[in-house]
């Protein structure tokens, strides 16, 4: 990356959520002589979807100590002087801030404060915030940069794609009339998506993962009285975090090994943990450092096998709920306010202002008809970029600057350098966060993203950066429980 060296360089980062904001802060700290432009439609970047569109009862899925990102002051130190009400979280964690499950919005507040402390760059080097939507990139001879929807063009030496989690894809045929019916909510996180709902009308939730949990809790908090029914292919809901115990990492010596062999080893370890009166959650924590290496060792057919047959159970054990969230969800289930079924949505017909949906239950249980005042897509963020109807990715795809992976997980990349349609790594276009999932599989949690951003910010800012092992090896060195 020799062409990135020297004073006066300009890096444009598209996306001001967690990944983009943190990268901007780290690059500004490493190279105060550079101009770092953070582009986002939000008035104040730093939140993104994960830490912006949430209520106080939407909690971080991991304890506070795992949310440290290498900034000063640290997250926990900031919390202690922020004046935030932490009583409920501290009560749950026996007074330990490090082990507390906090409201998600607090991490967004923390990042916004860090950005506000950095003097904005009006002229010359520093961090500059640009409010706008990127719709394309510039690449004409030596000129590179970003085009905005309002017509502005921002010249830059390097461009980083940090668009984070993308809006969900509706699990419906493209020509389904339900797509355009007012009873269908395609993106529950969109502004005003859940306003004006009839609280007495039944609700059908498509998906049973963490998005469903968030939306069910929100509806209940806002006075939903009609029954809620959630459906997914297997009807699995996320499991809960549980404190206590230690389990040593154990997968690394087994690699390379197939998905079936590794999942069998994990189940055996979980059984052993239970026999030793230890939470199985510690086994999953011990697995995390080896996930990227395991993923990279699999062939494409093995990856497809994992995604189709093993991913649903992996997700509910790996992406867990805070104890308070799990307790509230359990209350909804026990009271009958929420019912979860396994199956699929087969057909639907108009019924007044709502929908009559026909569900085919799994295991030969037969069909059931559900009356719903609204149908909410809770399938989670989209990752398949093929045909994504957003101006930025349409432009990048049309010009052959990106290569969506064949598994529908994101963009092909090489150590964050985006691969073009011919499979060649770019010298100026990079991607971070969930977009780089094809290379690493799990790159959505704060510790992994932080490690990725540390590595990229060092590589971009220094031509004499020492050669290091690939990022998958860095995850191994982070230790269990990240």
pLDDT digits (tens, 9 = 90+) for 103-148: 988 998 899 899 988 877 667 789 999 999 999 999 877 789 999 9
In contact, 413 and 161? CB cutoff 8 Å: no
Kindly report the length of the chain.
482
CB-facing half-sphere around the CA of 231: CA atoms within 13 A: 22
- Give the per-residue pLDDT at 166: 85
* Residue 247 φ/ψ, nearest 5 degrees: -135, 130
How far apart CA 418 and CA 424 sit, in angstroms, is 8
CB-facing half-sphere around the CA of 459: CA atoms within 13 A: 20
How far apart CA 11 and CA 178 sit, in angstroms, is 42
- Give the per-residue pLDDT at 474: 61
How much is the mean pLDDT over the chain? Answer: 89
- Give the per-residue pLDDT at 2: 35
**Among the listed residues 47, 48, 23, the one whose alpha carbon sits nearest the alpha carbon of residue 37:** 23
Burial 348-357 (b: 16+ CB within 10 A, else e): beeeeebbeb
User: What SS3 class is residue 21?
Assistant: helix
Which residues face 450 on adjacent strands? none
**Among the listed residues 167, 142, 146, 109, the one whose alpha carbon sits nearest the alpha carbon of residue 13:** 146
First to last CA, the chain: 30
H helix count then E strand count, the chain = 15, 17
- Give the per-residue pLDDT at 176: 87
- Give the per-residue pLDDT at 55: 73
In degrees to the nearest 10, what's the CA dihedral of 147, 436, 318, 63? -60
- Give the per-residue pLDDT at 22: 95
- Give the per-residue pLDDT at 29: 93
C-alpha pair distances (Å), 267 with each of 250, 361, 424: 12, 27, 39
In contact, 388 and 166? CB cutoff 8 Å: yes
Q: Residue 441 corresponds to which tokens in the numbers above?
A: 């599989």
How far apart CA 371 and CA 358 sit, in angstroms, is 9
User: What SS3 class is residue 411?
Assistant: strand
What residues of the chain score a pLDDT lower than 50? 1-5, 479-482
Q: Sketch out the chain's domains with CATH numbers.
A: 2-166+383-477 (3.50.50.60), 177-239+321-377 (3.50.50.60), 252-318 (no CATH)
- Give the per-residue pLDDT at 463: 58
- Give the per-residue pLDDT at 54: 67
* Predicted structure pTM score: 0.90
CB-facing half-sphere around the CA of 353: CA atoms within 13 A: 9
How far apart CA 169 and CA 146 sit, in angstroms, is 26
How far apart CA 347 and CA 360 sit, in angstroms, is 9
- Give the per-residue pLDDT at 146: 96
> What are the residue ranges of helices labelled H in 143-280?
210-221, 259-275
pLDDT digits (tens, 9 = 90+) for 297-319: 999 999 999 999 999 999 999 99
pLDDT digits (tens, 9 = 90+) for 391-431: 999 999 999 999 999 999 999 999 999 999 999 999 999 99
pLDDT digits (tens, 9 = 90+) for 348-360: 999 888 999 999 9
């Amino acid at each position: 990356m020799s062409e990135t060296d020297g004073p006066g360089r300009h890096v444009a980062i598209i996306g001001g959520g967690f990944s983009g904001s943190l990268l901007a802060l780290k690059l500004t700290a490493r190279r105060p002589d550079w101009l770092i432009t953070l582009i986002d439609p939000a008035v104040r970047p730093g939140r993104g979807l994960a830490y912006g569109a949430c209520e106080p009862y939407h909690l971080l899925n991991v304890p506070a100590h795992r949310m440290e990102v290498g900034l000063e002051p640290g997250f926990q130190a900031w919390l202690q002087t922020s004046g935030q009400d932490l009583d409920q979280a501290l009560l749950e964690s026996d007074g330990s801030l490090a082990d507390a499950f906090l409201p998600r919005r607090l991490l967004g507040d923390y990042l916004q404060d860090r950005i506000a402390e950095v003097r904005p760059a009006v002229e010359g080097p520093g961090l500059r915030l640009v409010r706008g939507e990127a719709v394309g990139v510039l690449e004409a001879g030596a000129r590179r940069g970003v085009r905005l929807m309002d017509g502005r063009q921002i010249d830059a030496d390097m461009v980083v794609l940090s668009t984070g989690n993308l809006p969900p894809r509706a699990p419906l045929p493209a020509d389904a009339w339900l797509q355009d019916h007012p009873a269908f909510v395609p993106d529950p996180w969109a502004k005003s998506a859940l306003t004006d709902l009839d609280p007495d009308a039944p609700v059908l939730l498509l998906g049973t993962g963490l998005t469903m949990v968030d939306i069910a809790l929100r509806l209940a908090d806002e006075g939903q009285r009609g029954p809620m029914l959630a459906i997914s292919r297997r009807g699995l809901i996320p499991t809960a975090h549980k404190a206590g115990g230690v389990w040593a990492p154990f997968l690394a010596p087994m690699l390379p090994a197939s998905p079936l062999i590794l999942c069998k080893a994990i189940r055996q370890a979980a059984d052993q943990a239970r026999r030793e009166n230890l939470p199985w959650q510690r086994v999953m924590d011990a697995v995390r450092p080896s996930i990227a290496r395991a993923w990279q060792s699999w062939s494409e057919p093995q990856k497809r096998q994992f995604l189709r047959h093993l991913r649903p159970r992996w997700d509910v054990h790996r992406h867990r709920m805070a104890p308070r969230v799990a307790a509230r969800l359990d209350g909804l289930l026990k009271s009958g306010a929420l019912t979860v079924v396994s199956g699929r949505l087969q057909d639907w017909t108009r019924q007044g202002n709502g929908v009559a949906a026909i569900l085919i239950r799994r295991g030969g249980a037969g069909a059931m008809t559900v009356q719903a005042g609204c149908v909410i897509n809770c399938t989670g963020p989209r990752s398949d970029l093929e045909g994504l109807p957003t101006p930025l990715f349409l432009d990048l795809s049309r010009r052959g600057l990106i290569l969506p992976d064949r598994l529908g997980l994101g963009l092909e990349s090489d150590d964050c350098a985006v691969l073009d349609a011919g499979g060649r790594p770019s010298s100026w276009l990079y991607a971070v966060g969930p977009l780089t999932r094809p290379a690493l599989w799990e790159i959505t949690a704060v510790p992994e993203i932080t490690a990725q951003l540390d590595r990229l910010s060092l590589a971009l800012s220094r031509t004499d950066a020492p050669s290091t092992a690939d990022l998958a090896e860095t995850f191994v060195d982070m230790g269990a429980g990240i």
